[in-house]
């Protein structure tokens, strides 16, 4: 972690030990460990006397390496203004690249250290320098909610639509953080409202992730494309449905969100809401004509998603609305296997009562009996056998139910299967 004793003493702020180690011949520029070198370690911790001591002993001020790339970035992230000034006075390269935040300006911006940001800019920091976790200083300040720094950077010529970093652009970063004033400021400065990229695809989806209704409304009022595709969740409606933001779902629908839009991890909004158990959103989507048997996504369809999540009321609602009980596809092949894997006996019974095919093949475990046997759901195994599940059915990840139960050490289920005629 620390590379050497000198770095360990430096990060802990133990000046006398640092002096002792140096007197005993410790190499002041030795590399290694999380902080790269002793100077970076002391700079991050804010130990000005140790920084000065190390510099007096010949520490290389621009040495690269470690989590923060260099000492200046470490001091900037930690908010240690005096050390930043000292390092700059001693020749630290203000635009040196590397480390988590790419450069010192981004590090200071994400930490909200306004005085250091100003100091770095005064010393020639490149306001639009690219790199690091957040791509640039403006995005870093935006995600942190540091309005004054955002304004300062913009005044110094920061490119409002610069691309890169975790959130793609500053507007998406501010939206994800729920910083309404910064979102407004960026829009006023010409931020492209429908810019694509980053973790959430666009600013609208980013705001939805946190349920920031006011920002969602603001973005929509400013022309955000309600049906824009991209990001982990495919579109805004799916994102809001997955997170359970009922008011935002209604708002998006009022703004003409495409209710059956495909894409993203869960394929559509209905599957997303069904998985998480948001009954009111499921009902709302169905009332607005969501396609109940739409295929796609991890779980294939909404019924399978609700079944694996154990949401009995939603399963019942979907069946009442015409969900196909034996629909194939998705991780578990069908809803019955999904419910069995999750140990949801009441849903298993409900699906069987509605005509679920007990020996249907497909999915990760091949059939429902193997799924229940693997997970150790003894009562479901008994129910399935009582309903004439084929005990020696082959297929799936573990070959058959007996092998699945044996692999996981489910002794009672193994005994039950053997008693019912499983082939050894």
Q: At what angle do helices 213-221 and 203-210 cross, to 10 degrees?
A: 160
pLDDT score for 104:
98
- CB distance 336 to 348 below 8 Å: yes
Residue 256 to residue 247: CA distance in whole angstroms:
14
Q: What digits encode the pLDDT tens for the residues 255-304?
A: 999 999 998 889 999 999 999 999 999 999 999 999 999 999 999 999 99
Residue with tokens 């666009």: 202
pLDDT score for 233:
86
* Whether CATH 3.40.50.2300 fits 292-424: no
Residue 398 to residue 364: CA distance in whole angstroms:
9
- SS3 call for 59: coil
Taking the CA atoms of residue 113, residue 114, residue 118 and residue 120 in that order, the dihedral angle to the nearest 10 degrees is 10
Q: What is the DSSP letter of 177?
A: H
Name which of 264, 273, 354 is nearest 311 in CA terms. Answer: 273
Name which of 179, 174, 95, 165 is nearest 133 in CA terms. Answer: 165
- Tell me the C-alpha to C-alpha distance, in Å, between residue 74 and each of 19, 79, 120, 212: 22, 9, 13, 33
Q: What is the DSSP letter of 363?
A: S
Backbone angles phi, psi at 256, to 5 degrees: 75, 30
Q: How many CA atoms lie within 13 A of 334 on its CB side?
A: 23
Residue 56 to residue 47: CA distance in whole angstroms:
14
pTM: 0.87
Beta strands in 315-405 (DSSP E): none
Backbone angles phi, psi at 164, to 5 degrees: 130, 175
pLDDT score for 79:
98
pLDDT score for 381:
97
- CB distance 384 to 369 below 8 Å: yes
Alpha carbon of residue 105 to chain centroid: 25
Residue ranges of the chain with per-residue pLDDT less than 50? none
- CB distance 69 to 35 below 8 Å: no
Residue 348 to residue 106: CA distance in whole angstroms:
53
Q: What digits encode the pLDDT tens for the residues 203-240?
A: 999 999 889 999 999 999 999 999 999 888 899 999 99
pLDDT score for 21:
97
pLDDT score for 230:
85
């Amino acid at each position: 972690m620390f590379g050497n004793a000198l770095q360990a003493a430096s990060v802990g702020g133990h000046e006398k030990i640092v002096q002792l180690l140096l007197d005993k011949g410790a190499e002041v520029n030795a590399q290694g460990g999380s902080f790269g070198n002793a100077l970076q370690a002391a700079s991050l911790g804010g130990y000005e006397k140790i920084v000065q001591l190390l510099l007096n002993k010949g520490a290389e001020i621009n040495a690269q390496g470690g989590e923060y790339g260099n000492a200046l970035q470490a001091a900037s992230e930690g908010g240690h203004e005096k050390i930043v000034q000292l390092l700059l006075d001693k020749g630290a390269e203000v635009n040196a690249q590397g480390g988590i935040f790419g450069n010192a300006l981004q590090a200071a911006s994400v930490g909200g250290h306004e005085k250091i940001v100003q100091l770095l800019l005064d010393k020639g920091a490149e306001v639009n320098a690219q790199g690091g976790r957040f791509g640039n200083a403006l995005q870093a300040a935006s995600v942190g909610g540091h309005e004054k720094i955002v304004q300062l950077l913009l005044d110094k010529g920061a490119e409002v639509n610069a691309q890169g970093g975790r959130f793609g652009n500053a507007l998406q970063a501010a939206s994800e953080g729920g910083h309404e004033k910064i979102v407004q400021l960026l829009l006023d400065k010409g931020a492209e409202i429908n810019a694509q990229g980053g973790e959430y695809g666009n600013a609208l989806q980013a705001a939805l992730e946190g349920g920031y209704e006011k920002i969602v409304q603001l973005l929509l009022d400013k022309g955000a494309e309600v049906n824009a595709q991209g990001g982990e969740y495919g579109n805004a409606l799916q994102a809001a449905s997955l997170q359970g933001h009922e008011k935002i779902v209604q708002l998006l629908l009022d703004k003409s969100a495409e209710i059956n839009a495909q894409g993203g991890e869960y394929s559509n909004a209905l599957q997303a809401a069904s998985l998480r158990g948001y009954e009111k959103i499921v009902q709302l989507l169905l009332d607005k004509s969501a396609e109940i048997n739409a295929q796609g996504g991890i779980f294939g369809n909404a019924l399978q998603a609700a079944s694996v999540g154990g949401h009995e009321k939603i399963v019942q609602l979907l069946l009442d609305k015409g969900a196909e009980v034996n629909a194939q596809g998705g991780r578990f092949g069908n809803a019955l296997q999904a419910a069995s894997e999750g140990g949801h006996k009441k849903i298993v019974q409900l699906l069987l009562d509605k005509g679920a095919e007990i020996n249907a093949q497909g999915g990760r475990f091949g059939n429902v009996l193997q799924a229940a046997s693997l997970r150790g759901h003894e009562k479901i195994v008994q129910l399935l056998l009582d309903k004439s599940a084929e005990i020696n059915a082959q297929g799936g990840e573990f070959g058959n139910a007996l092998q699945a139960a044996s692999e996981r050490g489910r002794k009672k289920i193994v005994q039950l299967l053997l008693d019912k005629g499983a082939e050894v």
